[in-house]
Structure 1
């Protein structure tokens, strides 16, 4: 029989060296891939614009009575306001309206607004949200509101049983006093000025403080204050979830909601990876 010719020592050594170099190169490439940062998604910027309710739906403990936003004076102020907000260059406008059953959360009211159908609506969704979206050439406005409960009656009942009804009423009356003061300022101040006041950090904190103070109402397993705050937080978290599910990398979002929501919505924006909170106040000057 024939035996295979033995490999030459030099050739065997050269082959081993080549294999070793390839393995080292592969190891270095693998390490580089593992250590390389993942490609960053484009930053999402969100401006939370807290507003008073232009059309006053009467859903708050105290509701501000303001003059007609369709008046010549207010319409001129809104034209100026929209130009200020347009400098933020939003690519998305999201508002306090429910749209869970609508494709892409796009509000049909915006299409009607663009077509000029029907009488104008006085609420801030149309007067700010729709106007701004039209100014930016956007083809839709999104509704990201969520249902929620406000178990204030249970808080009142606990306060009454524990001799704290007057204390609770005083806290409600303080909200009323702030609302009346806002009404007084609204007689002479522009829409932009009023919104600037509502979006100051101290005003946002004051709006939220009432909910935090409610935690003082409770004993043992009965915690109506915690329940009220928890339901309020749950609604705002659900709003933020709807927003997160709607944005795309690189979006610049104007989120328009009643000012009482501002604290929790801002907090939620700050907690999202890759999101930046844009202060509204400088755009209202």
Structure 2
């Protein structure tokens, strides 16, 4: 009987030891820091029209310094941004100017008093991604955008043809409500809080859910104008994530994806379905509860 008890104890200890060793040896997942933001230069291209938020103020610049300092500690091997992937050479040229402290003078000389001046001064690629990449010592910032035309006219025509007043009312309520809420927050919240707020699970579900809940219903039974529009939105984001998958190397342990919050709401699902990466949020590296 004693031998049997000893044998059972040995087996239990071996089992516990085996599992602890297995856990210790389990490979740690690579990490992707997701930062979904509003466009700092606010070109007015989005359906939801919002007021400007000046990221060149002293307060905003101080916050950008703190954010990028934490990204430096995260130590990414790559930073991906909403820049056309096929225009990487121009992005590389701009980044080289930036790391050699020539970017501002270049922009002043070439874009001052031109329509795209605000973009080169305020956009999150230059204000946040370039700053973080330089601090981290990266040689490149990677473009991952794959622009596709969004067929909003197709959606609207399908809605009008089907006389879907309820769908039209939902679209109007969504865009006006989101704009009103965003404008209020931009008057009362700092930059870090605004970005963190856009990256809550609730905010992402509202954003991505709008396409399925509302736009996908547009059109009569045999008219798929709404579904086509939603498919094009998913297609763009799927292509964008494909670019990330192809450019992350086996040696890369951490990456940052900085995009408009609507893109991130979709791409987060792709990352989770792929199952290779642990998603890290801005609030995590900023230690915000």
TM-score in terms of structure 2 length: 0.78
- Matched with 1:229 is 230
- Structure possessing the higher radius of gyration over alpha carbons: 1
- Comparing 171-180 and 263-272, the one that deviates more: 171-180
> Greater share of helix residues, 1 or 2?
2
Query: Given the alignment of the two structures, is residue 94 of structure 1 paired with residue 80 of structure 2, yes or no?
Result: yes
In structure 2, do the counterparts of structure 1 residues 121 and 101 end up closer, same or farther at CA, with 3 Å as the change threshold? Answer: closer
Q: Does 1:202 align with 2:202?
A: yes
Deviations, residues 197-238 of structure 1 (Å, cap 9, x unaligned): 000011011111111121222333311111011000100000
1:64 matched to 2:50? The reply is yes
Which residue of the partner structure matches residue 280 of structure 2? 278
Q: Tell me if structure 1 keeps the 8 A contact 2:238–2:267.
A: yes
Q: Counterpart of 2:98?
A: 113
CA positional deviation for 1:139 = 0.9
- Which residue of the partner structure matches residue 267 of structure 2? 265
Say if 2:88 and 2:142, in contact at 8 Å, map to a contact too. no
Aligned partner of residue 65 in structure 1, secondary structure: coil
> What CA distance in whole angstroms lies between the structure 1 residues aligned with 2:72 and 2:121?
21
Cα gap change, 1:106/1:123 in structure 2, threshold over 3 Å: closer, same or farther? closer
SS at structure 2 position matched to 1:257: strand
Q: CA 1:47 to 1:77, structure 2 compared with 1: closer, same or farther past 3 Å?
A: same
Runs of at least 4 residues of structure 1 off by over 4 A? Answer: 40-43
Alignment match, 2:135: 135
Q: Answer yes or no: is the 8 Å Cα contact 1:93–1:254 preserved in 2.
A: yes
Cα distance in 1 for partners of 2:95, 2:28 equals 28
Q: Distance in 2 between matches of 1:162 and 1:86?
A: 52
C-alpha distance in structure 1 between counterparts of 2:239 and 2:150, whole Å: 15
C-alpha displacement of 1:283: 2.6
Find the counterpart in structure 2 of residue 84 from structure 1: 70
Deviation of 1:54 after TM superposition, in Å, equals 0.4
Counterparts in 2 of 1:84 and 1:179: CA distance versus 1, 3 Å:
farther
Question: Normalising to structure 1: TM-score of the pair?
Answer: 0.79
Structure 1 segment 154-173 matched on structure 2, within 5 A: 154-165=154-165, 167-173=167-173
Equivalent position of 1:35 in the other structure:
none
**Alignment match, 1:216:** 217
Unaligned runs of 5+ in 2: 1-25, 108-119
Cα drift, residue 193 of structure 1: 0.4
- For 1:106 and 1:251, how far apart are their aligned partners in 2? 23
SS in 1 for 2:258: strand
Evaluate the alpha carbon distance shift between residue 57 and residue 78 of structure 1 in structure 2; reply closer, same or farther with a 3 A threshold. Answer: same
The corresponding residue for 1:191 is: 191
Number of aligned residues? 246
Q: Deviations over 1:115-165 (max 9, x none)?
A: 222246200011111111011111110001002121111111111122224
Q: How does 1:16-27 map to 2 (within 5 A)?
A: none
* 1:169 CA drift (Å): 4.0
Secondary structure at 2:60's aligned position in 1? helix
